[in-house]
Amino acid sequence: MSSLVPEIYGSLVFNDKVMRDKLPKDIYKALRKTIDAGTHLELDVANSVAVAMKEWAVENGATHYTHWFQPMTGFTAEKHDSFISPVGDGEVIMDFSGKELVKGEPDASSFPSGGLRATFEARGYTAWDPTSPAFIKDGTLYIPTAFCSYSGEALDKKTPLLRSMEALSNEAVKVLGLLGQSDVTRVSTTIGPEQEYFLIEKSAYAKRKDLIFTGRTLLGAMPPKGQEMEDHYFGAIRPRVAAFMHDLDEELWKLGIPAKTKHNEVAPCQHELAPVFDTANVAVDHNQLTMEVMKKVADKHGFVCLLHEKPFDGINGSGKHNNWSMVTSKGANLLEPGKTPAENISFLVFLTAVIKAVDEYADLLRLSVASAGNDHRLGANEAPPAIISIFLGDELTEIINAIENDTFFKSKKAQKMDIGATVLPHFFRDTTDRNRTSPFAFTGNKFEFRSLGSSASVATPNIILNTAVAEALSQFYDELKKSKGSIEDAVHKLVKKTIKKHKRVIFNGNGYTDEWVAEAKKRGLYNLKSTPDVLPTFIEKKNVELFTKHHIFTEPEINSRYEILLENYCKTLHIESKTLQDMLYAQFLPTLMKFSDKVSASIEAKERMGLKAKAEKTLAKKLDSAYEELFTYAEKLVEDTDKAETMDDLLKRAYQYHDKILEEMAQIREVADSVEVYFPADLQPYPTYADMLFYV
């Protein structure tokens, strides 16, 4: 297989190699200019590309094409059209034009628009994104596209991401010009999104209404063993899971997705996949595709792939680590400290720009990872806290302290590690450790934004990160341009001032402690614990000004997204509440009554024989009490859920779901789980945690 990897890698992608082979030289150069420099694509170029793309796709078994886009549902969307074109006499030819390549017209009326479009206004457009390669999947040519309304508003996640990448590039190039790097024409943001997920048996999944409708278990007692033995993390991969991972790698490699690392995660049945870095736009498309392919390959192996942030209570949920950096058109990583980071002028400028951006727009970064699912993780001892802070490590912290205080910094030399056994090789350890409790950690030559939820698109966090850093660089440029004297002195002054003002966001300690929560409050940092708490920050004046200044969103686009996020939160919890009601009334309470009747019959049988049945009576009392409690809680849940749906104010509705309905669901779960442990195996209303998490 290893010898075939280079052969299959990217075999289903209309990549640079295919373009060089299939396109005339002048067309290839024009397309490359569009991809590399962001120039406008002319229709005659698009026509030539369309012909070559269609020929290549047909050669590889494709019969249809689709404009693949990312609406505000959080998923991807596609409408398939065949290449056939009737020519008379009952014959057809395979045809595909530049017009069909660059523009599609899906019905936009049923996608979330947050009030931008009336439901009767159906027209929407998809526009080809030439910077993200087309690919073939299941006999269809997939063309990555942006999605907008008839009047030009962005209705997707790709359009603002491309805008944010351009904004950051423009500001970064201007700053680099002042620093003597005028030959840099473009700065790209790169991402390596690590993806966590669960695999469970398809047969068990099919019997759990909560997993089917909500992606997470709403009821279920913990098994005798969970993750407390810490034996699953990086443990030996089960043969069936290894077979799934092998096939997953192959499918991803064919699509040009550089899947690199795979291992078991902390919780039973939990795993992780990490790719190699790619430009932000391509990496976002690849991550969406990865999640789709995971589900498809899992199904072939008799599994279901769960991407919810908290599918099982009591064990770790799943996140997604967003490894982010900036690379110039010359190939230099702007977050690479080099051997002497204290003397690396561009590194210090861009590092402090990130620090400033994260401090000033921490509310937006927190918003970018907010969802009903992720609320279950953030702040627990399995994910970073809701407080956004930066981990720099000892060496970089000492450097910025030295700059702030005008003291001498002596670089640490990497220490040789001697583990104490002569047979083991010596190696050099890094000059700083890692911090898994930090939401935003510097990890060598990149920042790792660790707060993302596993099911989320990585577009939104990167839109906000790119835009916030672009704003910091814009302000840096204005200040450096006005300065007199040497650029080195101006940079030193700027970096020193920025560190003094924004160092409050730097924290290298344990983010899980109560002490940090208290300290963060003292520093004036945000602690926005829930999605309803954080969403209103989207429409605050400073944030609206940020997005409109850099042309990322118009004000109507911001307001529409705010409304969509609130609607999604409310709809998610509404579905969860209705599903729990269904499971209680149709499954759990009838099972509880049936078991209670069996216990009562046992008591009567014993008493007829003159026996006391003390244990049975104690159990019967517990079961009867639980039944009464659950029925009362369920009726209240129905009432409060119905009340929520009558609320016109979306934010008030979100708080009704968060403050009341989630609390009532938790009360129901606590009672139900406490009696589930008494049910005999033949009476269990659905597969238990033990059935699902320990299926081998």
pLDDT tens-digit profile of 69-125?
888 887 888 888 888 776 666 665 667 777 888 887 776 666 666 665 554 455 678
Is residue 407 scored above 70 in pLDDT? yes
* Residue 23 falls inside a structural domain: yes
At residue 135, φ and ψ (nearest 5 deg) are -150, 165
Q: How does strand 303-306 pair with strand 140-149?
A: unpaired
Last residue of some domain: 130, 155, 180? Answer: 155
Q: Which residues does 201 contact at the CB level (< 8 Å), separation at least 6?
A: 302, 303, 304, 692, 695
In a shared domain, residues 441 and 300: yes
CB 191 within 8 A of CB 324: yes
Q: What is the pLDDT of residue 428?
A: 46
Q: What is the pLDDT of residue 148?
A: 85
Q: What is the pLDDT of residue 339?
A: 79
Q: 48-52, 286-290, 658-662: which range is least confident on average?
A: 48-52
Confidence band, pLDDT 50/70/90 cuts, at residue 417: very low
The alpha carbon of 480 is separated from its chain's Cα centroid by a whole number of angstroms, namely 36
Q: How far apart are CA 414 and CA 488, in angstroms?
A: 27
683 vs 231, higher pLDDT: 683
Length of the chain: 696
* Residue 145 falls inside a structural domain: yes
> What CATH number does the domain containing 246 carry?
3.30.590.10
CB 334 within 8 A of CB 190: no
Last residue of some domain: 525, 553, 581? Answer: 553
Q: What is the pLDDT of residue 639?
A: 97
In a shared domain, residues 88 and 210: no
Residue 567 identity: E
Q: What is the DSSP string of 487-544?
A: HHHHHHHHHHHHHHHHGGGB--S-TTSHHHHHHHHHHT-----SHHHHGGGGGSHHHH
Q: What is the pLDDT of residue 267?
A: 83
> What CATH number does the domain containing 19 carry?
3.10.20.70
* Residue 677 falls inside a structural domain: yes
Radius of gyration from C-alpha coordinates of the chain = 28
CB 316 within 8 A of CB 267: yes
Q: What is the pLDDT of residue 660?
A: 97
Q: Which residues does 586 contact at the CB level (< 8 Å), separation at least 6?
A: none
Quote the strand ranges of 281-415, DSSP E: 303-306, 319-328, 390-391
Residue 18 identity: V
Report pLDDT digits (tens) over 436-485. Answer: 788 999 988 999 999 999 999 999 999 999 999 999 999 999 999 998 88
Whole-angstrom CA distances from 553 to 39, 181, 234, 497 are 21, 30, 42, 30
Is residue 416 scored above 70 in pLDDT? no
Is residue 232 scored above 70 in pLDDT? no
Q: How far apart are CA 671 and CA 625, in angstroms?
A: 10
In a shared domain, residues 58 and 173: no
Residue ranges of alpha helices (H) inside 23-103 are: 25-37, 43-59, 98-102
Q: How far apart are CA 131 and CA 35, in angstroms?
A: 5
In a shared domain, residues 410 and 543: yes
Q: What is the pLDDT of residue 348?
A: 92
> What CATH number does the domain containing 580 carry?
1.20.120.1560
In a shared domain, residues 414 and 462: yes
* Residue 205 falls inside a structural domain: yes
CA dihedral (484, 488, 489, 490) positive or negative: positive
CA dihedral (9, 11, 12, 18) positive or negative: positive
* Residue 466 falls inside a structural domain: yes
- Residue 89 is part of which domain span? 2-155
CB 356 within 8 A of CB 470: no
What is the token pair recorded at 635? 């009726």
Q: Which residues does 640 contact at the CB level (< 8 Å), separation at least 6?
A: 656, 660, 661, 664
Report pLDDT digits (tens) over 8-31. Answer: 899 999 999 999 999 999 999 999
Report pLDDT digits (tens) over 501-530. Answer: 999 999 998 888 889 999 999 999 999 999
Q: How far apart are CA 357 and CA 28, in angstroms?
A: 38
pTM score of the predicted model: 0.92
Is residue 418 scored above 80 in pLDDT? no
Confidence band, pLDDT 50/70/90 cuts, at residue 425: low
411 vs 442, higher pLDDT: 442
CA proximity to 211, closest of 564, 693, 589: 693
Report pLDDT digits (tens) over 660-696. Answer: 999 999 999 999 999 999 999 999 999 999 999 987 5
Percent of the chain predicted with pLDDT > 70: 89
Q: What is the pLDDT of residue 168?
A: 98
Quote the strand ranges of 129-236, DSSP E: 135-137, 140-149, 187-201
Residue 674 identity: S
In a shared domain, residues 581 and 543: no
In a shared domain, residues 247 and 321: yes
Last residue of some domain: 155, 188, 220? Answer: 155
Q: How does strand 319-328 pair with strand 390-391?
A: unpaired
Mean pLDDT of 256-263: 87
Q: What is the pLDDT of residue 15?
A: 93
Coil, helix or strand for 602? helix
Q: How does strand 64-68 pair with strand 140-149?
A: parallel
CB 308 within 8 A of CB 218: no
Angle at 204 between CA 199 and CA 205, to 5 degrees: 65
* Residue 498 falls inside a structural domain: yes
* Residue 559 falls inside a structural domain: no
Q: What is the pLDDT of residue 402?
A: 82
* Residue 101 falls inside a structural domain: yes
Report pLDDT digits (tens) over 586-641. Answer: 999 999 999 999 999 998 998 888 888 899 899 999 999 999 999 999 999 999 99
When divided into structural domains, the chain yields a total of 3
In a shared domain, residues 81 and 101: yes
In a shared domain, residues 380 and 457: yes
Confidence band, pLDDT 50/70/90 cuts, at residue 419: very low
Residue 148: strand pairing partners: 125, 154
Mean pLDDT of 528-538: 95
Q: Which residues does 565 contact at the CB level (< 8 Å), separation at least 6?
A: 370, 531, 535, 538
In a shared domain, residues 347 and 241: yes
At residue 241, φ and ψ (nearest 5 deg) are -70, -40
Q: What is the pLDDT of residue 88?
A: 65
In a shared domain, residues 520 and 593: no
In a shared domain, residues 310 and 220: yes
581: number of Cβ within 10 Å: 18
User: What is the enclosing helix (H) or strand (E) of 64?
Assistant: strand 64-68
What's the mean pLDDT when you consider all of the chain? 88
Q: What is the pLDDT of residue 3?
A: 56
Residue 273: strand pairing partners: 195, 262
Coil, helix or strand for 624? helix
Q: How far apart are CA 258 and CA 277, in angstroms?
A: 8
CA proximity to 322, closest of 188, 478, 164, 453: 453
